[in-house]
Amino acid sequence: MLVMENIMGTMLALLGAALAAGLAGSGSAIGVGIAGESGAGVMTEDPGKFGLVLLLQALPGTQGIYGLLTAFLAILKVGLLGGGGVSVSLWQGLGILFACLPIAIAGYYSGIAQGKTSAACIQMIAKRPEETGKAVILPAMVETYAVLALLMSVILLNGIKI
């Protein structure tokens, strides 16, 4: 029974890691995709804007990194990367799963929202390339919430003692 519980604990932690990397990554993928479509449109007119467009397209990509980061921290915690042999109780596993949720959820939705903002800002620099500074800040406003979610996930993970 105890062995079963140990396996359940580890599996729940893995579910958390999978959700964090999977959902936040999907959010980023959609976001970067939306921004990329807009960027391609702008570059048909002016291929010289590649650098700026790429910068703005990359901005919604960070949620995926935050998700991956949380996922790694989660599996490090249960000893699946090197280390090994850590026993994880059902409750600890559930805790890790919950700790992964903030970045999974906020990463998914903020990635999409940031992608839309980036797309709009790419349209903006098409007309006013001198306003690049502002165009970079607007998507960063959206990212704040992914950063806060990452913060919460990390603090929660840190709070679970194994």
69 near other proteins, rule: CB under 8 A: yes
**Closest by Cα among 45, 28, 29, 33 to 119:** 33
59 near other proteins, rule: CB under 8 A: yes
Q: Rounded distance, CA 117 to CA 127, Å?
A: 16
80 near other proteins, rule: CB under 8 A: no
109 near other proteins, rule: CB under 8 A: no
H or E segment to which residue 58 belongs: helix 50-58
Token pair 């105890």 in the structure block, residue: 2
35 near other proteins, rule: CB under 8 A: no
| Maximal C-alpha separation, the chain | 66
Residue 124: C-alpha distances to residues 25, 52, 60, 108, 132 (Å): 26, 11, 17, 25, 8
Find the shortest distance in angstroms from Cβ 156 to other proteins. 11
Find the shortest distance in angstroms from Cβ 135 to other proteins. 10
User: 6 or 132, CB closer to other proteins?
Assistant: 132
- Which residues contribute to the site for other proteins (CB under 8 A)? 55, 58-59, 61-62, 65-66, 68-69, 72-73, 76, 81-82, 132-134, 136-137, 140-141, 143-144, 147-148, 150-151, 154-155, 158
